Structure 1
């Protein structure tokens, strides 16, 4: 394999396929691995690295993008500067020297220039500025620097863009360069022997010319392979042009193309990202899959074979993997997953896959990122790889239900854990202050639920402690307050008395007074009294604080129905008088209850309270009533009529 690789390098030269580097949140963690003969890994050594190591960034520097060249690397800082390290024989580091650098140095951009994107080519470099200009430096044999000359540049010079052009993205190939304009056009310049500039010729271009895109096409992204070029259209198609010896243009042929042709994507596929390698190409689909085409001698297409493909085939990602970015190296490929892992496949002679070996991989394997970080951007150099990463973090939130309870009442605690890297698994422990009260295991949704009845009287500060795992560090929730208290009881009592003075007879109006008292610990409202004889009872107040009372009043006019039948008042002396004019003494009892509404909306009901009055009823009137209604029937006693035949007997005794 080494002999094959060396022959390939001698034939084509080393390339650094690159596009405007993917943006990342600012981070001080830059990783690199693979060949390191000129310090392109940036760790201060020239030792080959088979797994990712930290780039030695200057103190306080944070990067938002990286890009890999032939034997050099670039980093874009969060404040718009460019760092560079590795081979510098042609000035590709842009520091004004030809001295190789084992750790990053600052590229000497013109004063006031703020870089927003970077691209590393074979032995030249590019930067896009915040005002839409492009600067380039390094090797310029074919005009790839774009300043109208073939003079190598040790510091950045401005690319001679057409007047009025605003650039939004850049890409660098082996010996050519590309720019995407704000209106969706593509410019290219430099080496053009195979048509990679895309202007329909094979003439090298020392300044940018417009790529001959199909009519009506709007481009949203660009990428440069070694000797070919790629463009992503606004409707998710991919165009390609230039060298096509291995089918890297994806049009089903090996014919070089001097202007863009459409890649034969599978039906229905929408592409969102592209990248070009030495002689292969990658595409990211809208549903997180990876397609690849072109040279596959080292397994760089990732389909499990070493068969070259002239049209796209699907890379065999691990089950369930969602990819968010792709990057092609010389003969290897990289993918960034949605959970912050880096997958790699293809040539691995120099450890550029980062899996700790130098074994060629025909399908993706995981790069061995340091513990506790997850990747946010990737870049492929020719024989090395780069990534930006952030430290893994977890966040734990806690809810309690209910938050106010009585002693012994259950409280359900629910913790939810999220991670910036990996999936939260394992255990959550719950604490009442410093006292451990229980634990629960996270489910697939990152939730852990625990119910406790052990909280004593008082106020409790409950926290959830996620213990973490290899990919997701530990975290502690903010405290949640749970109050355990004796819940006040709602209680109501009723006292009833007769206000009017007797004796009473049918037709008299009797006045009653009711005293309603709140004997509980909560305020009651909507106090009402219901009496089984009194039609309407009114109260002085209808809201009672704990311990408060109110007086209610109601009246009732005694009717004949109240004393029919008559319940004798035996303890009151029975009947008085003699003969036909004796008087009955009848008891009339009525019962009342009070109700109110508590603060929780529930109804509170008092005890039953009753009052009894004695109503005098003349027996003569009762006798006349019996004669009127029963004619010949004989009248017995004081309160009812019985038949002559004796079939009925008096039910109530005479007083």
Structure 2
């Protein structure tokens, strides 16, 4: 069927419109789908595809714009060169040959020429240079190359623009071409059988002539169809001229016009971009909607019908969709959305709608772009489509709170996902402890996925979050976060108390004590102190002790009579004379100590009490005499063994 159509096109002079080149960020991804009889998909084959496939670009090449002729394709590189592939029967690939190419070849531009924009016509190509010149190559039977001849060219020749004129935009139509000048005029050349050059005649031109725009009008964009032309004005209106058989001039009639007439846009609509197809047109409005008018036999106007329209109607875009670029060719249309998707509608005999089918659609369907790619530019050929795309990227960051825990203590893991296409609206994040999966969480509207786990065992854990990808947001993995699980803090103190001084002891002796404080827990303790019920002040060698470590503390006490209790009587040899026996009292002095410290949480840790007991000897005889003196004389002192301090001498009787 396509072969018959191509033959018919050649016989009737039916022409394909240009595909306007949209500026795009540099990319090494070019996609193509639809008919591939001439290699116009650029994948090295001539096999058609109803789904986008990768164009085989030269290694290291990056593109900024793409354009389609009827059966060939063009791409602009970041260094100002032009690549071409597909049909080359008239030299429209510009490589000096007329051999079809199924992968891109470089257009042989003149030395030093830097190209800034490209456009494809039916069988010819155009390039705009950085200094405002225009070059053309390919089919030239109607003078559409603008070099003053009708000779086909397999390498670029310069269009004969009027002296001093600089072009700012170009558009290749069926068999004619347009250029926009820096002062807002429009130039046209080539076939003029339906008045598509807009100069008030139907005379063919091999060099540019000026379109007769209304007085005071400045054009800001142009579009060349098969036998008609469009211009967008600085105030958002659209002008049209040439063939009007299907109402493609949008003025409510089917009358051809050799000078521009105004398209009857809906009231209040401002147009920001235009695209011309063979016999219909598209317009992009300032609020992201798309209008269409003209031929509609395959639903290419996208209004849900196959009825031709003499004035613009709205394309039935999905709810909420905003369009940023449009392109149209023979019988199908493309729209680029603000979120990098591509919509297509119209004729689909070769899969040019890119939805995996060959079924026509009178309303937009979504092109099946490769996963995690975002389109940045579009171009419609006669039966194929092109796009530039960039790889989406995502980034996942992970936080853990807390990062040091005890067994069974909850740890909250929070992954945050960001994407170049915007915040993801779903998708799963899988959390891993090393290579072991520990849980899954869904990304919320803020791009966060949260998991709380109590399953981490003792030791150090390297936790990662792996976003699984969603929509146009590809997978990504976070940097690891370390979580340490430690034994639960256990605090314990022991206190050992011992007497350092050597006995025997008596009242009035100074006794030295040593205290050993040991940290028997698993966490450091500080502010170590020891208190003793008899020792006024205890000092420690260290006040901070690590687990398993000890510190020594020191204190002393002078024995007083009130300390000695209880007592036991015992006979001992001795006395002032001879070897008589006298009785002594063996009394005990016991003091109690306790250690305290502060743990890392600020809580007090206390040891068990520790005691030390010493024996203090007190002679019973002396005690009896003291009692006698106190009782009978009111004196407290005894001198020697038998004198009270009032000077009276008496011997203390044994029974006293």
What TM-score do the two structures reach when normalised by structure 1? 0.69
Quote the offset at 1:402 in angstroms.
8.1
Aligned residue number for residue 125 of structure 2: 125
SS of residue paired to 2:51 = strand
The corresponding residue for 2:477 is 476
Deviations 1:391-431 (A, max 9, x none): 33223244667889999587572513325399552212345
Q: What's the CA shift string for 1:308-343, capped at 9, x where partnerless?
A: 001111111223322221110201111122232222
Partner residue in 2 for 1:378: 378
**1:210, 1:397 → 2: CA distance?**
59
Counterpart in the other structure of 1:395: 395
- SS of 2:178 mapped into structure 1: strand
Residue pair 2:126, 2:170 contacting (<8 A) in 1 also? yes
3-state SS of 2:9 partner: helix
Q: Distance in 2 between matches of 1:7 and 1:123?
A: 14
1:9 match: secondary structure: helix
Equivalent residue, structure 2, for 1:441: 442
Question: Is there any run of 5+ residues in structure 2 with no aligned partner, and where?
Answer: 488-523, 525-543, 545-656
Which residue does 1:270 correspond to in 2?
A: 270
Residues 67 and 73, structure 1, Cα contact 8 Å, conserved in 2:
yes
**How far apart in 2 are the matches of 1:444 and 1:88?**
51
Q: How far apart, in 1, do the equivalents of 2:451 and 2:84 lie?
A: 53
Task: Find out whether 1:315 has 2:315 as its counterpart.
Answer: yes
Counterpart CA distance in 1 for 2:34 and 2:315 is 22
Specify whether residues 410 and 278 from structure 1 end up closer, same or farther in structure 2 by C-alpha distance, changes over 3 A only. same
Deviation at 1:111, TM superposition (A): 0.8
Mapped pair 1:235 → 2:235: yes
Query: Does 1:209 pair with 2:230?
Result: no
* Alignment-derived partner of residue 71 in structure 1: 71
User: Counterparts of 2:252 and 2:330 in 1: how far apart (Å)?
Assistant: 22
- Contact 1:15 1:69 survives alignment (8 Å): no
Rate the CA distance shift 1:351–1:259 in 2: closer, same or farther, 3 A: same
Q: Which residue of 2 aligns with 1:223?
A: 223
TM-aligned CA distance change 1:229 to 1:474, over 3 Å = same
CA offset digits 1:439-465 (Å, max 9, x no partner): 321123433234567889999876432
Mapping 1:320-399, distance limit 5 Å: 320-398=320-398
Residue 25 (structure 1) aligns with: 25
Kept in 2, the 8 Å contact 1:422–1:471? The answer is no
User: What SS does the corresponding residue of 1:345 show, helix, strand or coil?
Assistant: strand
Alignment of 1:42-81 (within 5 A): 42-81=42-81
**Deviation at residue 102 of structure 1 after TM alignment:** 2.1
Question: Aligned partners of 2:249, 2:346: CA distance in 1, in Å?
Answer: 19
2-side partners of 1:15 and 1:404: how far apart?
Answer: 73
1:49 and 1:456 mapped to 2: Cα distance? Answer: 54
Q: What is the rounded CA distance, in whole Å, between the counterparts of 2:24 and 2:14 in structure 1?
A: 27
Kept in 2, the 8 Å contact 1:424–1:468? The answer is no
Distance 1:182 1:345 in 2: 34
SS in 2 for 1:18: coil
- Measured in 2, the distance between the counterparts of 1:480 and 1:339 equals 33
For normalisation by structure 2, the TM-score amounts to: 0.68
After superposition, what is the alpha-carbon deviation per residue over 1:145-164, rounded to whole angstroms, capped at 9, x for unaligned? 11122221111011111222
- Structure 2 CA distance for aligned equivalents of residues 400 and 261 of structure 1: 67
Q: Please give the per-residue CA displacement for 1:109-161, whole angstroms capped at 9, x wherever unaligned.
A: 00111111110101111111112211111111222111122221111011111
Where do 1:107-118 residues align within 5 Å? 107-118=107-118
Distance 2:36 2:123 in 1: 16
Task: Name the CA distance, whole Å, in 1 between partners of 2:24 and 2:383.
Answer: 23
Aligned equivalents of 2:264 and 2:288: distance in 1? 19
Contact 2:186 / 2:219 at 8 angstroms: preserved in 1?
yes
| Alpha-carbon distance change, 95 to 216 in structure 1, aligned in 2, over 3 angstroms | same
Describe the shift of the 1:19–1:53 C-alpha distance in structure 2 as closer, same or farther (beyond 3 A). Answer: closer
CA distance in 1, matches of 2:419, 2:117: 31
- Aligned partners of 2:287 and 2:399: how far apart in 1? 35
Cα distance in 2, alignment partners of residues 211 and 396 from structure 1: 55
Larger radius of gyration: 2
d(CA) in 1 for partners of 2:5, 2:155? 32
- Structure 1 counterpart SS, 2:272: strand
Name the stretch that deviates more: 391-400 or 35-44.
391-400
CA deviation vs aligned residue, 1:249-296 (integer Å, no higher than 9, x gap): 111111112222221112222222211111000112222221111000
Partner of 1:259: 259
Question: Which aligned pairs between 1:271-290 and structure 2 lie closer than 5 A?
Answer: 271-290=271-290
Match of 2:155 in 1: 155
1:41-77 alpha-carbon deviations (Å, 9 max, x no partner): 2222323332222222222222222211122111112
Q: CA deviation at 1:215?
A: 2.8
CA distance in 2, matches of 1:484, 1:233: 70
What is the alpha-carbon distance in structure 1 between the residues aligned to residue 5 and residue 306 of structure 2?
Answer: 15
- How many corresponding residue pairs? 501
- The 3-state SS of whatever aligns with 1:240 is strand
Shift of residue 434 of structure 1? 6.2
Change (3 A) 1:92 1:434: same
- Report deviation, 1:244: 1.0
CA-atom RMSD in angstroms:
3.6
In the TM superposition, residue 84 of structure 1 has moved relative to its aligned partner by: 1.2
Structure 1: unaligned runs, 5 residues or longer: 487-520, 522-545, 547-655
What do the CA deviations read for 1:12-57 (whole angstroms, capped 9, x no partner)? 4343312541122222222222222222222223233322222222
